[in-house]
A and B are shown apart, each in its own frame.
Chain A
């Protein structure tokens, strides 16, 4: 493809970078990224990926926009309250950049649909708000050998990590199984500073762009933890676990399961 004059203007600050250039920008325009969730993390991550010209963005989200989301979920607005989040985000992202094709999917990922949805994408971004989805996405990405950028937030602290299956750790190397229902509070119970998912979502977008461009060091075997109150970024080493139930030498998880028994779905 050849750039149009408008594309040259839109992406000029990328094209100038030696690490991106016209070639890198074309990779971005040809890339296909699946976002799990269009909430606190998915909104800023998708917003920046759209601005960057990532050509195809799939969004899976089951929720409708509520007024309580708007303190942090910046792709939605007062005018889209009641609309499916995937549709609301699509509207925002496509308005920002008409080069981006957004595929909005209102629904939940399950063991029965995730592989079929994921197969059309190069990279998955997890911005989900619950453990059943987080583990399902991890297991699916490991089984399909698809890179996964994973983020999580609560109160004033967030974390991000990049999973390149069989090259680095996976989520189960870090936490082998989901915590029992009720042990870990949700944002709904514990609260979250509205800007915090902006920081973590932007880091997820950064990791995704690096993976597409093939530049820099991904957060492989590493968990990056940001604390907004202390203003600290901590990198914690996460070695691969040879006994990991999904990516270890003798995996016990060889097919997908749903883990939602007992969990609150909100």
Chain B
């Protein structure tokens, strides 16, 4: 049987059939063609033989233990690594530190803490922060402290 144009397409897919890499439908078409085409059946046998020969001639790794020991001897203790994650964490810490220096004093100066704490209390269940805690939540402003002095 002489090869048809379809045979060219089939032959190109044969290595992928051997690797189980073709979609199921396409594999079925290739298999059906190969069953009825001596030329493609021979090609499949040749590709199969090549694959088996390559697999059989896998490089030897029987000196692996010695190589592993060589690597193990050369591992240096790890110093601090400038990984992206570490850099990001360091940048975040720095931003927090800088922010607390420049922002916090002005907040402390102007904030009405009794209002802030009032909002905080309102957001919590009464049982957790309720009537048993007989505490005066109002905090004087810094400016008030200055005036008192």
Do A and B pair up? The answer is no
User: A-side interface residues toward B, CB under 8 Å?
Assistant: none
User: B-side interface residues toward A, CB under 8 Å?
Assistant: none
